[in-house]
């Protein structure tokens, strides 16, 4: 692939790798962003040139992007080398770096920030685009979700062309956005957060819901029949031909089984036999620190990242019912400065267990938990939180920068 | 206290519930129950009739499309206007606040509002996003206010309303005043949610609903909300330096 690059693009690629290596060596980060930025300054078309000739899948949505990308990479590795932005750098700089670092990879599984989907569609000419879900996130700076779905719909209509879309049949916003495309593979990936899709995105009427089915009685938008679904109490994924593929995930929760189903649907479009791909998903134990298990002083912590109301609710669904829970909340720029979304999360399921809160905005959490009648202890940081719970298992739920702070405490565990 | 059960209606969560608006309902219920008052929270969707018999009404924020639909349905229903005339407390946030006025701006044009509050809203030069703080109207007796705002509109107050507060940080209505009140109706741009960060405002609404003076409500241990308020005011001071 890199053999086809122009001298300018080759030079840009070399500079990119140098900048990324320097950034890593000086402890500034993993270097994905700075490397990509340097490369794109020298050759603005670098992403396009690096993507040329590869089989690309883009994976986007509010929640589950990183994990689904990791699963997809594991599945595609059954048939070849895969370039991927495994550090969660999901904007064009990160994509450029991921491709530059893996010049020999025939495949690329790229996690894509929701707001860059259009740009990536044009630059990377993907074979497959997977759309997971859309819900409220970073309210003070991001687009409203319905507006984002409308933008996707427009983008897909303009640029999807021969691309196959793998889309969540359970999320009305995703269905509306994807339904303009000719080739769509529907996955029953579930929707635990319905508050952003009470209203039909197409016409504004109320959506009727009965069990997993939903439909608009006004314009007729409804849940498409999914070709892929999770079945048998989460122990298997069922494909379009009714064949069953056993799932034995290390990652917890309903949402990760849905992510696995999406990854198998993607992989099969690349010609991977799902029966061959499914066991590879078992090997995924953690994803950039998410779900990682770390130990200190006899406390066995499981680290869960949750950035928005849907993510926190998914986390509460994943955690074991007995062990103490540590909650950590920050509101730095990438988290969004507005913490009001914690009132969209129901914390009452935590009542009766030991709850420790920390993070920059621990006082916001304290007020929130008091309102929900949940007893809690407020501590300064993760070390104090560990000291405050007895030895044994501990569940840790944190939003983005709070999670990175905790990872840093554990040597940036992956 | 006269009431056995306090009925609080949360209007149109299907349309207007963007920035933790449910939190205001939760805070009111929490603070009422802590005083031994039973609460019956009632969520009313935009395709349902609004009950006349409730003791308090809440309406939240949202984007342009849902705001215009909500205003239309509220005008057709009529119950919220009658509740205001009957002196029932109403708390309206952001888009919900704007639609209580004579007119508001959405989807690139002006819409007719409910005319419950003497004010009108139009589009501002830029979006107001961030922490907001102010000195509340002295007659309300609720002290300084703190919240988070996120809106593109600007609101112009008429003579029949008072501002909720004079702005000390943030934008609010127009950079000088924030929110409005008249009788037992309060509108504000503060989410956060506002009642979690301003417990005295919550108690004022409860007192109005019950028909007592706020001073007659048994005090609660507000250690955590007070600490949160202190943090937010301090953060603004630090940022201003």
> Going by DSSP bridges, is the β-strand pair B177-182/B162-169 parallel, antiparallel, or unpaired?
antiparallel
Query: Coil, strand, or helix at residue A258?
Result: helix
CA distance A380 to chain B (A): 14
Residues B21-50 as b/e (b if ≥16 CB within 10 A, e otherwise) read bbbbbbbbbbbbeeeebebeebbbebeeeb
Is residue A152 in some structural domain?
yes
The pTM score is 0.90
DSSP code string of A17-57: HHHHHHHHHTTS--SHHHHHHHHHHH-TTHHHHHHTTSEEE
Chain B CB within 8 Å of residue A348 CB: no
**Residue B179 confidence (pLDDT):** 98
Interface of B with A in 114-143 (CB under 8 A): 129-131
Annotated catalytic residues of B are: 94, 191
Q: Do A340 and B26 touch (CB under 8 A)?
A: no
pLDDT category at A5 given cuts 50, 70, 90 is: confident
Does the pLDDT of residue B88 top 60, yes or no? Answer: yes
Lowest mean pLDDT among A152-166, B145-159, B223-237: A152-166
Is residue A115 in some structural domain?
yes
Q: Do B20 and A342 touch (CB under 8 A)?
A: yes
For residues A220 and A309, membership in a common domain is answered with no
**Residue B75 confidence (pLDDT):** 97
Of residues A116, A176, A189, the one with CA closest to residue A146: A176
Is residue A288 in some structural domain?
no
Q: Do B192 and A340 touch (CB under 8 A)?
A: yes
CB atoms within 10 A of CB B141: 13
**Residue A338 confidence (pLDDT):** 93
pLDDT category at A17 given cuts 50, 70, 90 is: confident
**pLDDT tens figures, A112-138:** 999 999 999 999 999 999 999 998 887
**Residue A49 confidence (pLDDT):** 86
Write down which residue in A259, A282, A305 finishes a domain: A282
For residues A31 and A119, membership in a common domain is answered with yes
- Nearest by CB to residue A343, choosing from B22, B150, B231, is B22
**pLDDT tens figures, A353-408:** 999 999 999 999 999 999 999 999 999 999 999 999 999 999 999 999 999 999 99
φ, ψ of residue B94 in degrees (nearest 5): 55, -110
| Helix or strand run (H / E) with residue A405 | helix A400-409
Inter-chain contacts counted by CB atoms under 8 A, chains A and B: 80
Rounded to whole angstroms, the Cα distance separating B146 from B191 reads 9
**Residue span of the structural domain in which B83 resides:** 5-240
Chain A CB within 8 Å of residue B61 CB: no
CATH number (domain holding residue B158): 3.40.50.880
Rounded to whole angstroms, the Cα distance separating A284 from A282 reads 6
Mean pLDDT over residues B156-181, rounded? 98
Count structural domains, chain B: 1
Contact A89, A68 (CB under 8 A): no
Contact A252, A397 (CB under 8 A): no
**Residue A204 confidence (pLDDT):** 83
Write down which residue in A282, A301, A318 finishes a domain: A282
Does the pLDDT of residue B205 top 70, yes or no? Answer: yes
**Residue span of the structural domain in which A219 resides:** 2-282
Over chain A, what is the mean pLDDT?
91
Residue percentage of chain A with pLDDT more than 70 = 96
Chain B residues in contact with A367 (beta carbon < 8 A)? 196-197, 224-225, 228
**pLDDT tens figures, A239-279:** 999 999 999 999 999 999 999 999 999 999 999 999 999 99
Chain B residues in contact with A204 (beta carbon < 8 A)? 65, 69
Residue in chain A closest to B24 (alpha carbons) equals: A343
Residue percentage of chain A with pLDDT more than 90 = 70
Chain A residues in contact with B63 (beta carbon < 8 A)? 144, 146-147
């Amino acid at each position: 692939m890199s053999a086809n690059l122009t001298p300018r693009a080759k030079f840009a690629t070399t500079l990119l790798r140098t900048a990324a290596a320097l950034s890593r060596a000086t402890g500034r980060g993993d270097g994905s962003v700075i490397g990509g930025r340097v490369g794109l300054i020298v050759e603005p078309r670098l992403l396009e040139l690096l993507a040329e000739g590869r089989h690309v899948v883009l994976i986007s949505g509010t929640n589950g992007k990183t994990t689904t990308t990791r699963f997809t990479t594991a599945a595609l590795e059954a048939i070849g080398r895969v370039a991927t932005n495994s550090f969660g750098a999901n904007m064009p700089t990160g994509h450029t770096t991921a491709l530059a670092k893996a010049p020999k990879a025939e495949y690329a599984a790229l996690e894509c920030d929701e707001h860059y989907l259009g740009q990536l569609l044009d630059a990377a000419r993907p074979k497959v685009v997977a759309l997971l879900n859309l819900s409220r996130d970073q309210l003070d700076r991001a687009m409203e979700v319905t507006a984002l779905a409308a933008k996707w719909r427009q983008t897909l209509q303009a640029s999807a062309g021969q691309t196959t879309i793998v889309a969540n049949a359970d999320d009305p916003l995703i269905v509306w956005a994807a339904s303009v495309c000719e080739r769509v593979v529907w996955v029953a990936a579930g929707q635990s957060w319905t508050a952003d899709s009470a209203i039909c995105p197409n016409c504004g009427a109320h959506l009727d819901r009965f069990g997993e089915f939903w439909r608009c009685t006004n314009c007729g938008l409804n849940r498409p029949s999914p070709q892929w679904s999770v079945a048998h109490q989460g122990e298997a994924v069922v494909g379009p031909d009714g064949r069953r593929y056993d799932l034995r995930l290390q990652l917890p929760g309903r949402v990760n089984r849905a992510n696995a189903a999406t990854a198998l649907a993607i992989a099969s479009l690349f010609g991977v036999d799902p029966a061959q791909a499914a066991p590879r998903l078992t090997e995924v134990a953690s994803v950039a620190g998410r779900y990682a298990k770390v130990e200190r002083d006899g406390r066995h912590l499981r680290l869960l990242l949750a950035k928005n109301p849907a993510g926190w609710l998914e986390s509460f669904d994943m955690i074991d019912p007995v062990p103490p829970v540590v909650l950590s909340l920050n509101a730095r720029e990438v988290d969004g400065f507005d913490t009001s979304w914690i009132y969209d999360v129901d914390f009452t399921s935590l009542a009766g267990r030991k709850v420790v809160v920390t993070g920059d905005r621990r006082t916001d959490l304290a007020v929130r938990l008091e309102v929900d009648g949940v007893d809690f202890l407020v501590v300064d940081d993760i070390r104090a939180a560990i000291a405050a719970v007895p030895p044994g298992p501990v569940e840790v739920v944190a939003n983005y920068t709070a999670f990175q702070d905790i990872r840093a405490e554990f040597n940036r565990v992956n | 206290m006269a009431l056995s059960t306090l009925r609080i209606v949360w209007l149109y969560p299907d349309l207007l519930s963007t920035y933790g608006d449910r939190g205001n309902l939760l805070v009111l219920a929490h603070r009422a129950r802590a005083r031994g008052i039973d609460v019956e929270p009632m969520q009313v969707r935009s395709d349902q009739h609004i009950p006349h018999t409730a003791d308090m009404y809440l309406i939240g924020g949202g984007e342009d499309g849902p705001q215009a639909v909500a205003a239309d349905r509220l005008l057709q229903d009529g119950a919220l206007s009658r509740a205001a005339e009957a002196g029932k407390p109403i708390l309206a946030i952001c888009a919900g606040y704007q639609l209580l006025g004579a007119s508001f701006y959405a989807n690139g044009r002006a819409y007719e509002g409910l005319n419950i509050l003497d004010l009108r809203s139009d589009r501002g030069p830029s979006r107001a996003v961030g922490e907001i703080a102010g000195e509340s109207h002295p007659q309300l007796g609720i002290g300084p206010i703190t919240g988070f705002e996120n809106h593109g509109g600007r609101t112009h107050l008429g003579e029949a309303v008072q501002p909720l507060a004079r702005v000390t940080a943030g934008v609010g209505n127009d950079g000088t005043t924030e929110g409005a009140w008249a009788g037992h109706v309060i509108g504000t741009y503060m989410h956060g949610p506002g009642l979690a960060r301003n417990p005295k405002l919550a108690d004022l609404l409860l007192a109005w609903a019950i028909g007592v003076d706020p001073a007659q409500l048994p005090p609660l241990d507000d250690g955590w909300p007070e600490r949160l308020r202190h943090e937010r005011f301090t953060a603004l001071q630090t940022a201003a330096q």
